[in-house]
Structure 1
Amino acid sequence: MPSHPDLQGAIGSVAASLAAVRARITRAAEQSGRSPDAVRLVLATKTVPPERILEAVEAGQVHLAENRVQEGRAKAVALADRPIRWSMIGHLQTNKVKDALRFVDEVQSLDRLTLAKTLDGYLQRLGRPLDVLVQVNTSGEATKYGLPPHDVLPFLRELRAFASLRIRGFMTLGRFTPDVDEVRRCFRLLRTVRDAAREAMPCGEALQELSMGMSGDFEAAIAEGATIVRVGQAVFGRRPLPDSYFWPTTGTPHR
């Protein structure tokens, strides 16, 4: 995945780095003939302590995202008095669903029916709906989570059985490579999947979201139609653990 030289500078003022990222989003959107308001910035807060997250919140950031339920819930408790909307962007195990629903407003990593059934069961008892995105594996890497593109339409048809789930669109991870064209191919494929689903599914107009692009490639994602970008290191600085710790690229993903 392409890197960006601004990452090193992000370890200073969170507010300044956040403003710089917002400016880059604006430029990328305008260069693509789109309104900057059409792109939602979600800050990935994995490994970031609550006091540093608070700097972003005080600078006006509302949308935050976590990869791991335990870490996310602890931060949500610490920041409970703030107007935050939390998303789950990491692989969600069914035995973590109950705890996840204590703080998340959105799940961007729905990729299997067992998870959909578990989410819906808890949501029915809670009496509330949940916005979800279907995760699609656009890179073709067997070690990544997400549905193959050809399985998306059958999966969406099965999801109609789960009334508590509001399907809003799709999420993907671009291939981890410095080849920008290869990364953009992943993003274009997700847009193609979304457009096909909107035509094929009843109420397909609700399938608007494309969550794609992170710190190293969010401008390319915006050029390809991203409506949500998930940025962490460009705002908070480099993490002590590599991306592979959170997004496995070797071995077999644990389902």
Structure 2
Amino acid sequence: DVDHQKADWVSIHEKICQLLIPIRTSFPFFNSEKERKHGMEQLLHRKKHLVDLTHKVAQKFVFEGKHEEAIPAALHSLRFSIDTCGPDSMELVPAYLILAEASTGLGHLTQAEEYLSQAQWIVLKTSDCSNGIQSKLHRNLGLLYAAKGNFEESLYHLAADIYFASCAFGTHDISTSGGYFHMANVFFRQNKMDIADSLYTEVTDIWHAHFSRLIQVQSQTLTSPAEINILSEEVEISEEPLSKSNFQYYYYS
């Protein structure tokens, strides 16, 4: 309908409209196999760029809590991924996970479960799936079951999230802290305050250690404490400035 078309335009189409033109334009006649191969490589490169762009836009909307706006961008990312890599590629999983997260945020739990089932099926069929991807999958499953009130199933998946995140990043990495945080929330909802407090403390300790390392690195290069900026992009430990969106990334992605 009109509202959905408007949301699609605001969300992503306006950003990719010009990029779609060379992809949707018919191939010219090539004089040689070399030219044809070069043309195909250029087309593939453009499609991969669109996959990356639409994924980043969708992720940004999710970080900002704009779940409805995230859906069209994530759907475009999924379509371009299928077109580029095929329907069973691991490259589709990030798009499915964002679609699931956005759907969960909108309260569309059945739709979220369908997206996660697709992602889970691909992961199960892939022998070399990374620990990072499996962590994100289980985190999304944990959040879905928490939203449905199935706390035991939620805790199972959040425990798996922590395990795979620990394998990928380490037990005390900020990327792992999200699993502890969501698990603490589940125990809090179960009124198991001792366990929840213990997990919240673990999260706090992880971030305290992270900030301490950032300050230590910067204090070695700055002349006075007043110049220390823990949000600087120049710190090698963290490539991005730490903002509300960054916190959400570690907790929800």
Give the TM-score category using the shorter length. under 0.3
Higher radius of gyration, 1 or 2: 2
Higher relative contact order, chain-length normalized (CA < 8 Å, sep 6+): 1
TM-score, normalising length from structure 1? 0.27
TM-score, length-scaled by structure 2? 0.27
